[in-house]
Structure 1
Amino acid sequence: MKILFLLAFILPIITVAQTKATVTIKNNSALDRKETVVTIKWATISNAYPQIDTSNFVVINGNTKKQIAYQLEHKGTTAIQNLLVQVDLKAKSTLTLLIQKGKPAPFTAKTYARYVPERLDDFAWENDKIAFRAYGKALEKTEGDAYGYDVWVKRIDKMILNDRYKRNEYHIDHGDGLDYYHVGYTLGAGNMAPFVNDTIRYSANYHQWKMLDNGPLRSTFQLTFDTWNAGGIKVKATKTISIDAGSQLNRIENNYTFDNNKPLPVVVGIIRREKPGVISLNEQQGVMGYWEPTEKEGTTGVGSILTTPVSTMSVNKTQILAKTTVNNNEPIVYYSGAAWDKAGKITNSKQWFHYLNHFYQQLQNPLIVIVK
């Protein structure tokens, strides 16, 4: 009788564990989290819910009882690596999500990236806040060549890249924003380059690309740069860039390989305009912000946040620079991006610098995720 009783007690627990998973997200900080994309390791979900059908499940907000959008992140592999969800979470609060069988509602893409061969090998990417592009091999040695990241400002949350390229009028605002950001021979909106003998050692443009994931909540891709001479040091780079829905900033992971056992000095840079703007430098926290002078098209804020120790931040006539070091074949991660005042969310330097500082604090206080 004791054996039968134990079986009757255990079986229902096994059945429940196989029909759903519960995700608890804790925000123990004093920071509100808005439109935050949370990464949940897929292995923890499949362990809690081994019978999950990847093509037939929903994620339910425990408070509202409504479905929320999600993404299966692969990171360029066939196997699922993470489940991504976007949530709002008040300071010192907890959110419960239920993962269970069901037909997911259609999700509107909030991020997008693609190679643009029809425009001289551009690689462009965007989310529901802002857009960017990097320049490819076909643009090298032409009049329009540039070294850094370009910004495409936008005032709507829809994806706009394809429409702008199709119109071929991305310097004109058709109600969704435009491209008025000038890059030239600088690091533009937060590119990184070796800094050898007090000189920026620019590479050529990217020559290879690879898409790792493409929405609806995160788009990630790799750009590879051929070996170049960085002040007597042969350097090769692979840059992995991710943009999340709801964020003004990209996550950028660079991997440099070079023929030197010593750490390689590098700088993250932002182009500086001739007219006066507002600059905010925080070497201790690695936060660098710039509110550009206002143009007829509006005002752009650009900023970068380094996660490695910054030795110096400096300002010259053409660029704002943050200097750090990288080791051979060891990834270095930083964040960089932009905002536009005519989008209506961030409209002055104070708000932009607050956004950057708040983003830094979020990095220092990650959310806690528990799966059962």
Structure 2
Amino acid sequence: MKPNKVLLLFFFVTLLSYSQKTKIITVSNDLNIDREFETIELTKAALGLNSTDILEKFGIREMGTSKFLVSQCVDENGDGISDVILFQPTIKAASSKKFEVILNNDAKAKEPNNYCYSRFVPERTDDYAWENNKVAFRTYGPVAQKMTEDKVKGGTLTSGIDAWLKRVEYPIINKWYEKYTNGTGTYHKDTGEGLDNFHVGDSRGIGGIAVKIDSVYYLSKNFISWKNITTGPIRTSFILTYADWDAAGNIITEVKHISLDYGNFLSKFEISVSGTKSLSAGITLHDNDGITEANLKEGWIDYWQPLEDSELGTGIVFPKNTGIRFEKYLNPKKDLCNLYVTLKVKHDKVLYYAGFGWKKQGEFTTKESWEKYLGQFAKKIDHPLKVNIK
């Protein structure tokens, strides 16, 4: 056989092989509300791909169109090969859409912006910070803890979650830390992008955890190690590990898998925990001059408060039938005052979402609009988009 015919045959067989891997994805919404900014995860196994297939070579587009959706490939197990491809469809109320996953080398030709970003920040002691196009957060590591314990200025001892109140779509973490480290500015003053004026201290901030024994809430300290899993246009995720800690003689182990998706105001917290049958997640009450609400049936708690020249809504959302009780816990020490929801530990796991809506950011200008968002978010996690693959 002539060389050019061999090459043609090889090309045909390769093309046939990949064409057989084209999959039709039907995404269905059974709620009477429009859905967007919800992430669909497609594994290689679900797509019928081989372990050697390269997910980055595939694109996702709506049937009947030529435009590819933004997608992101993620290496979940850290072996250097992507296991999952992510995308975010927009689905109208009580309807469905079809998408196709196909081989397309041009699908990623235009690099999307990496709005969903996280990293370890050694230049600011040892923070870990994360953000998307709506919100930003950070928490604190072992060096900051040791500085506090050694009474060295600049330390921070807390496992609470800090909020950075951004009001721009583009990433700000690196920019704000650069101002801090080179002395050209401060992220504690709003120059148009937002600021950090959210006090955490010993509080739970937004989504920090505790274990309640009798009438006392016991707390972990700073994280001791971190692992970044992914950053990109759709999701950032990472793992924080904590030293074992004591809750009235009960030794608690704690590992947080945190992720934040594009368009969301709430981070997802997947906690691996042992030593307790329940875990409490809290939001700080600061000066206790705001309004707390809780709806265990729907699956959310929140606090709407004045904050300097604006207002702020903070909240926690959790799956149906996992909330045991809530408590507005007041203490003579201000930083220990938190609104808590106590959640069931199932198979050594706890799942919840925590975040905030800042009035100056513009999407939540009233307490009612913030609580509507939390209520709908709870409905969506209890009724995830249905995915059928053919």
The two structures have a TM-score, normalised by structure 1, of 0.89
- 2: distance between equivalents of 1:118 and 1:51? 39
Does residue 322 in structure 1 map to residue 341 in structure 2? Answer: yes
1:57 has 2:58 as partner = yes
Q: 1:106 corresponds to which residue?
A: 111
SS in 2 for 1:292: strand
Q: Which runs of 5+ in 2 are unaligned?
A: 1-12, 181-185, 331-336
Residue in 2 aligned with 1:182? 199
Q: Tell me the amino acid that sits aligned with residue 334 of structure 1.
A: Y
For the residues of structure 2 that align with 1:282 and 1:94, how far apart are their CA atoms?
30
When the two chains are superposed, the root-mean-square deviation of aligned CA atoms in Å is 2.3
Residue-by-residue CA offset, 1:102-157 (whole Å, 9 max, x unaligned) = 31221111200000111111000001110000111111125643331000011111
Deviation at 1:286, TM superposition (A): 2.9
**CA distance in 2: counterparts of 1:94 and 1:65, whole angstroms:** 19
Q: Is 1:344 the counterpart of 2:362 in the alignment?
A: yes
1:231 to 237, 245, 248: 248
CA–CA distance in 2 between the matches of 1:276 and 1:77?
45
Q: What residue is the counterpart of 1:6 in the other structure?
A: none
Structure 1 letter corresponding to 2:30 = N
Residues 187-206 of structure 1: CA deviation (Å, up to 9, x unaligned): 11111121122211111100
1:207 match: secondary structure = strand
In structure 2, the CA distance between the partners of 1:31 and 1:285, relative to structure 1 (3 Å rule), is same
| Matching residue's letter, 2:35 | R
Q: Secondary structure at the match of 2:373?
A: helix
The residue number in structure 2 matching 1:254 is: 271
Residues 63 and 95 in structure 1, CA contact (< 8 A), matched pair in contact too: no
Partner of 1:8: none
| Contact 2:21-2:47 at 8 Å conserved across structures | no
Instruction: Name the residue aligned to 2:377.
Output: 359
Structure 1: 5+ residue runs without aligned partners?
Answer: 1-10
Report the equivalent of 1:173. Answer: 190
CA distance in 1, matches of 2:201, 2:384: 36
Assess, with a 3 A threshold, how the Cα gap between structure 1 residues 226 and 57 changes in structure 2: closer, same or farther.
same
Q: Quick check: 27-36 or 343-352, which moved more?
A: 27-36
Alignment partner of 1:276 is 2:293: no
Matched to 2:287, the amino acid is E
Q: Report SS of the residue matched to 2:88.
A: strand
Q: Partner residue of 2:33?
A: 31
Between the two proteins, what is the percent identity of the paired residues?
A: 29
- Please give the alpha-carbon distance, in whole angstroms, between the structure 1 residues aligned to 2:51 and 2:223: 41
- Please list, as runs of the form range in 1=range in 2, the aligned pairs for 1:1-372 lying within 5 A after superposition: 17-18=19-20, 20-47=22-49, 53-62=54-63, 64-78=65-79, 79-100=81-102, 101-103=104-106, 104=108, 105-140=110-145, 141=148, 144-168=156-180, 169-258=186-275, 263-274=276-287, 276-296=289-309, 298-307=310-319, 309-317=322-330, 318-326=337-345, 330-372=348-390
- For 1:7, the equivalent position in structure 2 comes to none
TM-score normalised by structure 2 residue count: 0.85
Q: Which amino acid aligns with 2:105?
A: G
**CA offsets 1:248-275 (integer angstroms, 9 cap, x no match):** 11110111123xxxx4332111110325
How far, CA to CA, are the matches of 1:208 and 1:316 in structure 2? 30
Distance 1:23 1:52, change over 3 A: farther
Instruction: Give the corresponding residue for 1:5.
Output: none
